[in-house]
Structure 1
Amino acid sequence: MTQREIFFVANEVNELGGVGRWQAQMARLLAERGHRVRIIGIAPPEVAMDIGEDPPFETLTLYDRRPPGRRRPRFPLGRIDPAVRRQEADMRVAAERMSRLFRAAASGAVIVVTQVWAMEWVAFADTAGHPVIGMSHESFDASRRSSRFARVRSHYKDVDRLLVLTQEDADRWVAEGLNNVGFMPNPLPLTPVAPSPRTEKVVASIGRLSHAKGVDLLLDVWAEAAPRQPGWILRIYGSGEHEGVLRQQCTELGLDDSVEWAGRTDDVTAALARSSVFVQSSRGEGFPLVLLEAMACGVPCAAFDCSPGVREIVADGEDGLLARHGNTSELARHLVRLMSDESLRDTMGEKARQNVRRFAPEVITRRWEELFDFLER
């Protein structure tokens, strides 16, 4: 195995959320394999994630505070607009800090740009001699609904490889004219020694209390499912800007006796060990880590089929149950089916625990190293 210098360039070094968790995990996994890993963040995060006191990788943040968004040239000045030129000059100064590191890196170094906003600075840096891998951590449809779609097409069209999360998403980007696309799943974030005993009458939800995570939809689901399975509890782990509105909705639906608001948890394994079913009601996902975690804990999942990543993780009818995107009545029926059938929960939970091993950290890390070797040829 060739030991390399690997640079992750991201919006933030320790951003709270799925991308931040993935980034810290991959940096740690590659460092443990003997690679020298650095994470370069453009700006400090609004909400930081704890990456530990002595991580096995180095970190650098280019700005003390988040820089403003890119200015659009005023008509008819175009690129000679003084405000645009000042901003680009500032970006070049920040990018030069990366360039110095890239120039000093040995042959075989790799630059992985984990988010497209960060690519705006990498584009000003001197990456000569090192392959550049760009990444999009969301589904094609989610990207298309945002400003990131145009930026992915613009900023990643000339990188050595654009990685998305699934083959299905890769095919759709190829259809957009990008001929450098591949896919790389997220690795399993945890490998518990023992599965959940699946003995408590608890359905768990874990995620930020935001519009994207669809907890409002979940409460509508629970309003249909709970009366059909008395004694079961929906335990919602998470915090966020919509908590007050969601608690009010819960009360208005008459669910206060069967819903527990557990707050944010740093011990996902323990939360899942106290659960028998996991539910995800997101409006959109990339390659959701929490589904991987639930399956690793042997907890069968019911979820909206909201993205190719969800379909890639959960085999509907085999190790979990998928409802049509946004169909709350169908998701409620899936929950009732799992809550009412202990044998089904055990069968699907054990199958999930087996199937999810295809995303084991050692499997995904080896795929990354094979990609690095390929790009060096």
Structure 2
Amino acid sequence: MTEQTTVSGGRDIFIVSNSVDEMGGVTTWTHQMAREFTDRGHRVHVIGITPAPAGREHEFPEPLPYATTTLYDTHPPQVRPLRGIRGKLNAVERRRHAARAAGMRRRADRMTALFAAARPGAVLIVTQVWAMEWVALADTKGLLVIGMSHESYAASAATSRLSRVKRHYKDVDRLLILTPGDADRWIRAGMDNVGHMPNALPFMPEVPAPRSEKVVVSIGRLSHEKGVDMLLDSWAEIASRHPAWKLRIYGTGDEEQRLRARTTELGLDGSVEWKGRTNDVLGALSEASVFAQASRAEGFPITLLEAMATGLPCAAFDCAPGVREIIRDGEDGLLARLGNTVELGDHISTLITDEELRNRMGDAAFENVKRYAADEITDRWEALFAFLER
């Protein structure tokens, strides 16, 4: 073993996620923080449980300056709960369960070997509770273990993830939630190891975008959760009033064909542009004047941070504490009640119509979002490591 590692000398930091390379906010966060930690002199290893599904791979623009490992070549077999006598007597399903459990133990053993080679003072960050099911089988003795939830409490409570977080994260050194409000809800739910940590800005331009193009932009996965269908309903109320303006949508996903059909049904083909996926988020945002987000659920949306860092005023549904924390309603953006497409449309229309308001809110967004600068958030992470180590 080497001598005790200090923050200044660099730590071994493992970040374990569902996937190393699946498109989405958690992957963006993982690789941003991996790079930030690496730049601070830490030795980072990003571990994914499974590869990204076909068509959902995140494209990396250059070789990564840290190690990555994916434990499975393909997704592990799906199993159904063995309920009652019938379940216990289902030999085929029991074999599936046994095969999955054996595969999990083998992958956990592989993580154990990686963890065992770490220097004293090492930290393990688990970004998603599904990944924690594998980490829980590994030997993490000697590591600081930090679990994370990248969604709101309400989103967890609507699924099995609430009970799984309470089960798998109850003994970690710290469970990090994205906002103070949601952290309080987890504490009230019985978790006594909870803290909060916001996402960091992926970039911070020196000057805001010119906001000279007649474009409202939306960036995100084309899925039910992201609410693009509701954004289209809002745009249907706007397009005829502002025929010179376009709604530009970046992203791919399972809902794309249905959303395109909905666009045609609403008579919006001439005012909605489908741009697909982009690796140049800053460029896409810089060519717009307003950012719109109609998500049904969010955690601490990175695209919202990116839009504000670009200097765009944002109109969004008030769908989660993270959105309310990022946008100061009436100062640097406008919030609509979740699901109220008329109200969201009115907010977008207001930002289109009132250039002075648009520029004032955009400039305020550009300044206000600096509280999430990467250096400041990384400082908070390093302070947490030191605190937990005492």
| Length-normalised TM-score, structure 2 | 0.92
Q: After the TM superposition, which residues 69-148 of structure 1 pair with which residues of structure 2 at under 5 Å, given as runs?
A: 69=78, 72-73=81-82, 75=84, 84-148=97-161
Q: Structure 2 matches for 1:360-375, cutoff 5 A?
A: 360-375=373-388
Rounded Cα–Cα distance in structure 2 between residues aligned with 1:352 and 1:376: 36
Taking the aligned partners of 2:138 and 2:85, their CA distance within structure 1 comes to: 28
Give the Cα–Cα distance (whole angstroms) in 2 for the partners of residues 376 and 165 of structure 1. 22
Q: 2:315 aligns with which of 296, 299, 302?
A: 302
Aligned to 1:344: 357
**Equivalent-residue separation in structure 1 for 2:61 and 2:218 (angstroms):** 26
Structure 2 residue 31 is the aligned partner of structure 1 residue 24: yes
Q: Aligned AA for 2:321?
A: P
How many angstroms does 1:71 deviate by? Answer: 5.6
Give CA-to-partner distance per residue, 1:7-66, whole Å, 9 cap, x none: 011111112111111101100110010000001111111122123442111011111111
CA distance, structure 2, for counterparts of residue 296 and residue 337 of structure 1: 21
Looking at structure 2, the residues matched to 40 and 16 of structure 1 have their Cα atoms a distance apart, in angstroms, of 15
Contact 2:76 2:100 in 1 (8 A): no
Instruction: Select which of 141, 150, 168 maps to 2:163.
Output: 150
Deviations 1:99-137 (A, max 9, x none): 112122111000111111111111111111111101111
How far 1:72 moved relative to its partner?
Answer: 3.4
> Equivalent residue for 2:5?
none
Q: After superposition, what is the alpha-carbon deviation per residue over 1:284-312, rounded to whole angstroms, capped at 9, x for unaligned?
A: 11111111111001010000000111001
CA distance, structure 2, for counterparts of residue 105 and residue 242 of structure 1: 43
8 Å CA contact 2:9–2:41 kept in 1: the answer is no
Residue in structure 2 matched with residue 183 of structure 1 by the alignment: 196
CA distance in 2, matches of 1:224, 1:324: 17
- Greater shift, 366-375 or 237-246, is seen at 237-246
Shift in alpha-carbon separation, 1:343–1:166, aligned structure 2, 3 A: same
Q: Does 1:192 align with 2:205?
A: yes
Alpha-carbon distance in structure 1 between the residues aligned to 2:77 and 2:97? 12
1:325 aligns with 2:338: yes
Q: 1:231 aligns with which of 240, 244, 264?
A: 244
**Residue in structure 1 matching 2:214, options 196, 201, 208:** 201
- 2:4 is aligned to none
* 1:285 pairs with 2:294: no
Aligned twin of 1:64: 73
CA distance in 1, matches of 2:100, 2:232: 46
- Are 1:5 and 2:12 an aligned pair? yes
Alignment gaps of 5+ in structure 1: none
Report the alpha carbon displacement of residue 70 of structure 1 after superposing the two structures with TM: 5.8
> Alignment partner of 2:273: what SS?
strand
Structure 1 CA distance for aligned equivalents of residues 69 and 44 of structure 2? 11
Matching residue's letter, 1:270 = G
Offset of 1:69 from its aligned partner? Answer: 4.0
Q: CA deviation at 1:76?
A: 5.8
Q: 1:256 and 1:76, CA in 2 relative to 1: closer, same or farther beyond 3 A?
A: closer
Pairwise CA distance, 1:253 = 1.5
Runs of 4+ in 1 over 3 A off after TM superposition: 69-79, 81-87
Answering whether residue 258 of structure 2 is matched by residue 245 of structure 1, we say yes
Q: Distance in 1 between matches of 2:282 and 2:78?
A: 38
Q: Deviations over 1:227-271 (max 9, x none)?
A: 233311111112222222222221222222222222222111111
Distance 1:302 1:290 in 2: 13
Gaps of 5+ in 2: 1-7
1:263 aligns with 2:296: no
Among candidates 184, 190, 209, match of residue 171 of structure 1: 184
- Please give the root-mean-square deviation of Cα atoms over the aligned residues, in Å: 1.9
| Residues 223/87 of structure 1: CA separation in 2 closer, same or farther (3 Å cut) | closer
Contact 2:216 2:247 in 1 (8 A): yes
Deviation at 1:143, TM superposition (A): 1.0
Decide whether the 8 Å contact of 1:295 with 1:352 is kept in 2: yes
Whole-angstrom distance in 1 between the partners of 2:83 and 2:337: 45
What TM-score do the two structures reach when normalised by structure 1?
Answer: 0.95
Contact 2:121 2:389 in 1 (8 A): yes
The whole-number CA distance in structure 2 between the counterparts of 1:74 and 1:52 is 47
* 8 Å Cα contact 2:59-2:279 kept in structure 1: no
Taking the aligned partners of 1:72 and 1:245, their CA distance within structure 2 comes to 32
Counterpart contact for 1:209–1:239, Cα < 8 Å: yes
User: Equivalents in 1 of 2:143, 2:378: separation in Å?
Assistant: 20
Identity of aligned residues (%): 60
